[in-house]
Structure formats: C-alpha cells, structure tokens
Amino acid sequence: MIKTLSFFHRLLGIYFFLGCCSFCSLSATEYNIIPYPKQLIPELGSFSFNKRTVVLCPSHQPEVLKLAEQFSDQMKLVSGLRLDVRDFVLTDTVNSIIFNQLPITGNPEEYTLNISPKAIRIEAGAPTGFFYALQTLYQLLPAEIYGKKPVKGIIWAVPAVRINDSPRFKYRGMHLDVGRHFFPVEFIKKYIDALAMHKFNSFHWHLTEDQGWRIEIKKYPRLTEIGSRRDETLVGYYYDRFPQQFDGKPYGGFYTQKEAREIVAYAKERFITVIPEIELPGHATAAIASYPFLSCVPDSTVKVATKWGVFKDVYCPRDTTFRFLEDVLTEIMDIFPSRYIHIGGDECPKDRWKKTTECQELIKTLRLKDENGLQSYFVKRIEQFLNSKGRQIIGWDEILDGGIAPNATVMSWRGNEGGIAAAKSGHDVIMTPGAYCYFDKYQADPETEPTTIGGYLPLGMVYRYEPIPAELTTEEGKHILGAQANVWTEYMPTTESVEHMAFPRASAMAEVSWGARENRNWEHFCQRMPADFERYAQLDIHPSRAFFNVQFQTNITADKKLQVSLLCDNLDAEIHYNTNDKVPTVKDALYTGPVTLDKTATVTAAAFMNGKMMDKSLSKSFLVSKLTGMAYTKNLNNTWYDGGNASALTDGITGNTKVSNQWVGIGKAADGEIVVDMKHAQKIERFSVGLLNAPALCVMFPAEIRLLGSQDGVHYQLLAEKQLPASTLPTWEKIRPEITFPSTEVRYLKLQLKSAGPSPADNPESSIGSMIFMDEIGAW
C-alpha cells in the first residue's frame, strides 16, 4: 500500500504551496514534470548528489534492482558520479536513493517519490511504478541527465518534494505509421524513448498499408520482396497540382522479424507494449500486389500504391484469403506478445464486393443485410481466430458498421460518436478522434509550416481534449480505456518531419492521458514546457518550435474595426512587432494589447526572452476596407468550403495557397452572387476580391466578375465588370483582381461571378463541375 502523508505534513505542504499560490512560480520553475503528478506537495530545500551518494535497493527484486542500476549508470555517464548500488537495509539511509518495494494492492503503475535534503525515497508495488517514479526523478534533474556523454558545470540536485502519483487511464498510446514512409530501427527506438519519458505505455505500430508492407513474413516472402517497394511517390500535397507529379524514384524498406523483436524488447524495458497493426480488409493494395489471389479480381495486376488515399482493391472474403491472414497473424503473434492485435477495419470500399458474384453469394448464404454485414463477418472471423490464440482485437470504429465483433475494442477516430456507441454497448474504447488526436494536421499557421494533410490542431487544442464524452454515464465511462495520438506519415518523409509533427504535441497528450482532470491547467503546462524542450534536445529530437512563435488572432469590434491580437504559448515571452515589413527587434513596439488596424497592413512580430528572439519572426497580412466586418449573403452555400466562419469574406484574413479551409466556395459549375449591406450609403470607387485556381480541386477562376451598386437593395446599377482569362498553371494560383470606376454613393454592393464552366474532362473529379473559390472582398 502507498503510505499516506501525515496530517502535519499535509498541512505544512498545503501552507507552503498556497503561500506560493496554486500552480505557483516555484512549482513552474522547479517542478517541470510532464505529465504532472496526481499530487505534488513542495518541500523546502533540495537533495544534492555527490560522490558519497548511494543507491539502496533490495537485491531479491531483480527487476527493481535493474532499474536502480540503470539510474546509477546514467548518472555516472553524464555526471561522473559513481553511485554504488547496495542492498537495502533499514539502517543509515542518509545521502541515498532508496527503492522500497511494497505489496501490490492496487494499480501497479502507482508510486510515491519523497525527496528531502537527506534522501530520496521511492516506493511502489511493482517494477512499473518504480520505472515511472524514475521518469519523474529524471525530469526533476537538469535536462543533461538524458545525455549520452559527460557534461561539466552542472549542479546535480533535485528540489525537495512529496509526490503521490498514478495514471488516470490505463491505456496511454502513441501511434506511428511506417507504411506511407519507412523509418529506421534507431529512430523507432528514439521515438520510444520520448514516449517512455512521458509515461506512455502503448506504441501502436502501423505496419501495413497500400503504399508499403513493412514487416517480414517468412511464409510469404513476396510481401517484402514486392509489397515493401513502390515505383515512385507523389510529390507535394495530394491536391497541389493537376495532373499530379511523381518523383520517379523507387521507394521501399521493411523490418526483419529480428529487428521487430529487437524493438519489442527495447520497448518492454521501458514498460511500453508494442501493438502491431495489420490492416484488413481494406488498405490491402501492397499485399494484393504481392499475392494477386487475395483480390476479388482474378487477373489483378495492381501495383503498390504510389499516392495517398483509399483504394478499391481490398481483401476478398474467401477461404484462401483467411488462410493467408491467419498465417500472417500467426507469425505476427510470435513476434509481438501484446494482448491486443490491431486489425484496422477502416476505409474499406465495397466496390469489388458489390460486383463480385462470389461475394454476393456469400452475403445470401450467410443471410447478411449488405456489404457492411460482410465486413462485419470478415472482422468477426479474424477475431475468432485471434481469440482462439489468447489475443484480442482492436479495430478502427468502422468495425461497428454491420455489427461489432463480440470481444473487440474500438478505436474511435471519426469523432466521439463511435466511442460513445461502443461504450454504451459494453465494449472497451480507446479514444483517438481526428479533431484532437491526429498529429498529421497543421499545428501553426499553414503558411509558416511544412505541408501536411490539412486541418488545424495546435498544442492547446490537444491539451484541452477530454477523452470521456459527456454523453456517457459514470459506468459507461469506465469502458474508456484511455486515449491515443496518431502520426500518419503521408507528408512526413523524414525522421525530422515526424519529430516536428509528433512533438511537442505528444507532451500535451501525455498529460491528457495520465494526469488527473482536475489538475489540468493550460497556463501551468505552458510554464513547464520550456524544460521539456531542453529534454527533447538531449534526446536529439527536433520538435516544432511553434510554442515559441507568435500567433495572430483577429476580432471585429462592435464599430467594425479590425483588431489583431498577438499571442505566444511561452507565457514569459515579450512580443515586439511592426508594420514596416522588417524583422522585429526589441526596439520595435512592445505588444501590450490588441492592435487596431485602420488600413490594409502586414504585421510582423516575434517573441523575445531576455532581449533575444526565441525562434523566428512571422508576418501576416490583413485587408481593411469599408466592408470589414460587414454581413453578407450568398446565393449558394457550400458546407465543405465555407471559409471557416460566417464572415469569412469580410474578416480581414486573406486565403492562401496551402489550405482550402479559408476559402469560400461556390460549386458545381454555378454562378456566384454575394450581396453586402454597408448599413449606410458610402462613396466607393475601387473594389477587389481574392480568387483561387486549384485544378486538382476542380477550382477555376470565374470567367467574369461584375459589381453592382444600389441605394435601396432593390434597384441596382452596374458599377464595373471584368473578364478574367483562364489560368494555365497546373498548381494553385491566387490572384486579387481590382476594378475601378467613378466614385459612386451606394449602400448595397452585389458581386456576381460567372462560372468558367465544366472542369477539364481528364480530371477524375470533373463530374462535379468547376467551383469558384473566393476570399476577402474589399471596397474603398
């Protein structure tokens, strides 16, 4: 049992803690622990390591003794201090680190860490608890403790503290897709090191994809001889250009079974379970390319996919396919001792099944409702096989479609709905909704970031995620095992790009899945994060630096003025800015509150600490006109492309050529019409509108724009019109045509945009007709 603090010590600790205020500066600067412990009571003083410090550990507990020796070895490596490891006896414990194992009475991950100026005492009921206690101790030490070589000039000391800690959730996961891009064994180990540092206990290894099969299967060597290699790879974003461009370079790689076992053992030493994913019945292109008999198309000549997306070639639900999958999974189980085997189950198009007589006859024979029922049959049959071997399946939430397998655990990615449905039906759930847990999205302004799949998921949004949906009762909520962040690598071709996308958002996810909900505090987390960046540096991990950069936010005031707010996640930073397009210095204006813009301007800003720029300066252009903040109506609504808000055309923010979500779309070869009420008559003589050409999205410049004006909103007169030539570029192109006319007093403006007509016939999405994308409109 974990010992309870005496009333005196609780009172003393609470008095000291409140004296510094909740989540006080002392706590932020000395106790930079991520994830933050369940209970932390600061004490006075610190413990200093010296050449006489010893480690006391019971010799009859080999797993705990191994952890104690690892700590001693690491301290010797970086500090030169040799901490003798001795058998624990209750005699002189001064100047020692004590490992005291207690009987297991509850959570094996629970521990206490008590640090006084005299000694460090760690108590836990299982090796797992000792391991997590050491992770906390490491984080209290200087970041150099994570290094791989001796360092000088470091004071090796930790602040006095009393910590009682245990995780909120039993499943705390990070995922890595190695199918789209392959990463070497040494990087996988480094990735696992970062997970262990943040007390994750599950590594979800996505090993098979349309674009590559990455694990050796001895019975089926063609899976790696053919399936691990693709002829070339798509260049840039999927919708960057039309026609799409490819690099012409063969790409491949796979892990031998020996390497996979090495990874499993490496993770086990860090109390992380590796959960392999073998995708089925969809995302099977690489497997079918290797063994065409797996397809519903007898003469299949499909090749390993060279671009991203969802493909129609899926496993055919016949006996030969199931024998193949059982053989594969048998070898997988021999490599991976995990309780769970992830079987995918997502994004399985039913086109082949609908057209295959064999599949339709099977649906009739099994009296299934439809192809969703056939997928359910497929998954259940695989589950029965794995259950017979003592394993359980995890599947993406599509396994709910057509009826869930009896013992399946659901990984809810398409929002919370799948997790809610599964929990209410009594199934265990791991929450990983894309909006909060998909680390392939942008984490800062897309114009300043490497290309991603799209979307927006900044650090703060991850941190504020709550895994247990409010729709669940307390009992139903017990089925939520935990949460996981997913790192899909379509746009992460290098280890550095994975690091940039996964970290530091993994730090936020760690606190979401470990820390008590009532302890979560964004400002306190931000105060602790600079220390985590130092730890990442010692692990040779290069996280995104967006934490240290300025963020721009806008607001339209009641009197229709555009205000720009400058923010930085590093709360101790000073922000300096200018509007002269120059790199800011500390001599430029100090940001103290929202800046009101009375004309179109580019704001350039940077965050500083102690007079030094923390990372880089960023610029953002804002359009200000007589239409700023004005409401408008449009003749056609497009729920996919609405600009992100109801005032996207007059909010001062212009669209860019990296993401489509800031653009307002009018689709299917339709003409567009926008009407703005300026509230009172005003003289105008100039008008502009932002337009986008994106051939891969079937977005084309309008053939013509016309501007009309009115005093009463009924009778309009033509102010100006302009013909626009079609773009010849295959890539995204942004223009801002401007039209001028004699000064005219009007209250209402009507913008008409004439569609360019059908999309090019060879565009695979041409059936929808061309769309018009526009952004900020302005009048002067």
Q: Angle at the Cα of 74 (from 73 to 79), degrees rounded to 5?
A: 105
Distance, CA of 564 to CA of 622 (rounded, Å): 9
Residue 12's pLDDT band, with cuts at 50, 70 and 90, is: very low
Asked if the model's pLDDT at residue 20 lies above 80, the reply is: no
DSSP state of 156: -
Q: Which tokens is 483 given?
A: 């949460």
E-strand spans in 16-73? 39-48, 54-57
R_g of the chain computed on alpha carbons = 30
At residue 391, the 3 state secondary structure works out as coil
Residues 127-133, mean pLDDT to the nearest whole number: 98
**pLDDT number for residue 405:** 87
**pLDDT number for residue 638:** 65
**pLDDT number for residue 766:** 58
For 292-305, write each residue's pLDDT tens digit.
Answer: 999 999 777 899 99
Report pTM.
Answer: 0.94
Asked if the model's pLDDT at residue 17 lies above 50, the reply is: no
Asked if the model's pLDDT at residue 34 lies above 50, the reply is: yes
**pLDDT number for residue 641:** 83
**Mean pLDDT of all residues in the chain?**
93
For 474-486, write each residue's pLDDT tens digit.
Answer: 999 999 999 999 9
For 204-226, write each residue's pLDDT tens digit.
Answer: 999 999 999 999 999 999 999 99
| Residue that wins the pLDDT comparison between 392 and 88 | 392
Asked if the model's pLDDT at residue 19 lies above 80, the reply is: no
Asked if the model's pLDDT at residue 8 lies above 80, the reply is: no
For 620-673, write each residue's pLDDT tens digit.
Answer: 999 999 999 999 999 876 667 888 888 999 999 999 999 998 899 987 778 999
**pLDDT number for residue 29:** 56
CA 246 from centre of chain: 26
Report whether 45 contacts 160 (CB < 8 A).
Answer: yes
DSSP string for 59-88: TT-HHHHHHHHHHHHHHHHHH----EEEE-
List own/partner pairs for 372-377 with CB under 8 A and 24 or more apart.
372/401, 372/402, 373/402, 373/403, 374/317, 374/350, 374/402, 375/281, 375/345, 375/348, 375/350, 375/399, 375/401, 375/402, 376/401, 376/402, 376/403, 376/404, 376/405, 377/317, 377/402
| Residue that wins the pLDDT comparison between 402 and 110 | 110
For 244-258, write each residue's pLDDT tens digit.
Answer: 999 999 999 999 999
Span of 234-238, 310-314, 631-635 with lowest mean pLDDT: 631-635
Of residues 322, 35, 356, the one with CA closest to residue 172: 35
DSSP state of 761: T
Of residues 143, 157, 155, 133, the one with CA closest to residue 71: 133
DSSP state of 377: H
**pLDDT number for residue 93:** 86
List own/partner pairs for 38-41 with CB under 8 A and 24 or more apart.
38/164, 38/165, 38/166, 38/515, 38/516, 38/519, 39/163, 39/164, 39/165, 40/161, 40/162, 40/163, 41/5, 41/9, 41/10, 41/13, 41/14, 41/16, 41/17, 41/161, 41/162, 41/163
**pLDDT number for residue 764:** 59
The pLDDT > 70 percentage for the chain reads: 94
Residue 23's pLDDT band, with cuts at 50, 70 and 90, is: very low
**pLDDT number for residue 30:** 85
Asked if the model's pLDDT at residue 11 lies above 70, the reply is: no
**pLDDT number for residue 761:** 60
Of residues 574, 466, 450, the one with CA closest to residue 518: 466
Task: Name 358's Cβ contacts closer than 8 Å, sequence gap at least 6.
Answer: 296, 316, 318
Largest CA distance in the chain: 97
Residues 439-467, mean pLDDT to the nearest whole number: 97
Span of 84-93, 300-309, 522-531 with lowest mean pLDDT: 84-93
Residues 188-217, mean pLDDT to the nearest whole number: 98
